[in-house]
Structure 1
Amino acid sequence: MSAEDESETNYWPGYVDALTTMTMVLTFVMMILAIGVYLLSESLSKSLLATLLRQADVEVSDDASPQEIQDKLVDTLAKANQTAVMPELRESNDDNAKEVLAEKDKRAPKEPGKVETSRNGSLLRVSYEDAETRLNERSRAEIGAFLKESPAIRNARFIVIKAHASPEAGGASQARRLAYYRAMILRNELISLGFEPHRLRIEVDETENVTAGQTAEIFAK
């Protein structure tokens, strides 16, 4: 067999070139997909936050960034957490207003929620009553103590705040909105305790268990 015949049957360089080209094409496609997924998640996050703000009668501009929308929602929830809702006055008569306010003062304030802590996996669970989203003084103190005493939480790269929603308790949309409010108020509480916002991750998880749907969890990741 001649040297010319041997050179004609050597396909290895062409195979290497084809494999290299295919690898480069696949890498490029994966980069495009990653960018597309990121942009889609940013768009969905902005859309969800804007919807929640509009449902709370808070104005938000169309060109606002997701971070600006989230900060505005946190500020709105923080104000709601500190201010009790006044009873609606159906008549403008001063006597009626005084009677309503006097009746409000007679009623004992309702406990917003209870907190149970579990050291298993550095997890803190917050249990709520009914449609409550606020934190009372006792629950704030317990959250602060747990976070202070948990090295895993303090040293974690990310802290996850996962609120559970149970559609069985009154509809999927209402349950998810309630869970998101709870998670955002917990996020605001952690920020007030000195945790950096970029370390906090919000998650909303659906569950068929009605009792579990009244809880939120804080844990290290």
Structure 2
Amino acid sequence: MADSNREMNYWPGFVDALSNVVLTLVFVLVVFVFALLITSSKMQQKTVQMVEQRLEQEHTSFAKLSEVEAKLAETQKARDKLAADLADLRAVNQRLEAFRQSVRDKEAASTPSVVEKPLDLKNAAPAKPVDGATDSAEIVGGNVIIITYPRAAVMLNDTSRAQLTKLLETYRARLPGTIATIDSVMGLETYSEGRRMAYYRALDLRNFLLEKKYAGSQSIKITTKQGKGQGDARIELRFVRP
């Protein structure tokens, strides 16, 4: 019995050893779980930080996108404004071109009739034969040269200048000492327009006389008057001795 009791004394030691092993394992497990919890917490914090950073980046990107969209909207507004300004400039250019065309048409209407249709240049009272010096005053003073202008014509064309030169050359020797009177009669235009054009016709004829030396600048008298009839405009040119 004594030997049997000694053998049974081994079990408590084994139980103690096993208990120590179990306690050690439990401790290790607790430490592992604790470490796992700490690691998980840190990873969770890091994940939260990453999510927050990503959200912040997305917010920043959204803000930048909004800013870009705003700039694009401003750019579009600027483009629309430029397009509107360009359209206005084109409209102004079209109006200017139309105005220039109207001016060209008006100028064309005032000159082609002179070029295309020769002016009617005639001596209304033909000169008498000259027998002596005493007749020169009567011939120069008594004759009138009538220049008829088509409507809107204000200048002598080459043909009419040649005709007038040919006519006046026959009297060149008798013209010195005379006064050239230019009576410019208005045509069918309105009063203000007709008066202006009559004056321009008279100036053109005056320049012609000065150019050809048929009269001096101090010996030319210009008058404008309204015609009694409804005919074309005309100029009555006379050379009168004072």
TM range (shorter): 0.3 to 0.5
Greater Rg over alpha carbons, structure: 2
TM-score (norm 2): 0.43
Q: Which has the higher helix share?
A: 2
TM-score (norm 1): 0.46
